[in-house]
Amino acid sequence: MVFVISVFGAIAAERTAAWWRRYHVDNAEVATSVVSGAAFLLAKTLVARIAFLALSLEVYDRYRLFELDLTNPIVWVLMFVGRDLVYYWVHRAEHRVSVLWAAHMVHHSPETMSFTNAVRVPWMEAVYKPWLGLWVPFVGFNPIAFVVLDIAAATYGQLYHTTAVRRHRLLDWFIVTPSTHRVHHGSNREYIDKNFSAVFIIWDRLFGTFEPEVASVRFGLTGDKSIDSPVDALVGGYPALFETVRQQQSIAAGVRVALAPPV
């Protein structure tokens, strides 16, 4: 609920600013983003917050490796940093594996950067990402406490989807800022597959994927790919990917296509 309020509060503020400054608002693009975000929240509620939380609690109760005390602040810090590191690698995989990019491309499809477009998150991510989070209860982090950190990180992520804040050379060294995240959404050749981090930009610096914002950012997908309607947002790139896989001469070849980097 806190996340939903923060999202719609930010969108309302942005729409008000656009009206006040007489900016053009593409209502079709807004509708596509809102439909995508609503589908994501529904899927996340049904999969991650209900069904998967029950499984996580079962793993936590029966199979956790360590007893981690939530009254210890270090445990919370380790949870947050660990989450951010895992997010970096999952996010990087979403850009380098076609079957994941077919979903994630929906988020990269807007040709502008705004709080509204930030909610254009594919519902498919709410289905596959929870399975990649089973390390949380297995290590010994309480899944319910982890949800709190997940909401905090998602709320912060909403706020850096904007063009209103300029580059900040000091903060850009440590955390994800609007400037570093604009680079991530850029379709410029030098910006593709850069700045995957969610909170701490240090992961990109450590693993060689950092790129500062220098040239003006062109937003949107490369080539002739696009997400132009709510229906497009709900199916992502899967129709095109499935057709390419179907055309392969063997199941093994189709699997290789699905797991290969997107074209």
152-177 pLDDT, tens digit each? 998 899 889 988 888 888 999 999 99
**Nearest residue to 157 (alpha-carbon basis) of 214, 190, 196:** 196
Render 240-257 in DSSP notation, one character per residue: HHHHHHHTSSSHHHHHHH
Q: What are the DSSP E strand ranges found in 130-256? A: none
Region for residue 236 given its phi and psi (left: phi exceeds 0; alpha: psi -120 to 50; beta: otherwise):
left
On the CB side of 185, how many CA atoms lie within 13 Å of its CA? 29
The more confidently predicted of residues 39 and 17 is 39
The angle subtended at Cα 131 by Cα 88 and Cα 85, nearest 5°, is: 20
* Residue 22 binned pLDDT confidence (cut-offs 50, 70, 90): low
As a whole-number percent, the residues of the chain with pLDDT over 90 amount to 61
Q: Dump pLDDT digits (tens) for 207-242.
A: 999 999 999 999 999 988 889 899 999 999 999 999
This prediction has a pTM of 0.89
Q: What is the pLDDT of residue 1?
A: 52
Residue in this structure with the two tokens 């477009």, named with its chain if needed:
117
For 47, phi then psi, to 5°, come to -90, -60
* Residue 106 binned pLDDT confidence (cut-offs 50, 70, 90): very high
Q: Which residues contact 189 (CB under 8 A, 6 or more apart)?
A: none
CA Rg value for the chain: 19
Average pLDDT over the chain reads 89
As a whole-number percent, the residues of the chain with pLDDT over 70 amount to 90
Q: Within its chain, how far is the Cα of 167 from the centroid? A: 21
**Nearest residue to 125 (alpha-carbon basis) of 162, 148, 154:** 154
Mean pLDDT (whole number) for 107-111: 93
Lowest model confidence (mean pLDDT) among 16-25, 50-59, 106-115: 16-25
Q: Which residues contact 130 (CB under 8 A, 6 or more apart)?
A: 47, 48, 52, 56
Structure tokens at 8: 């719609």
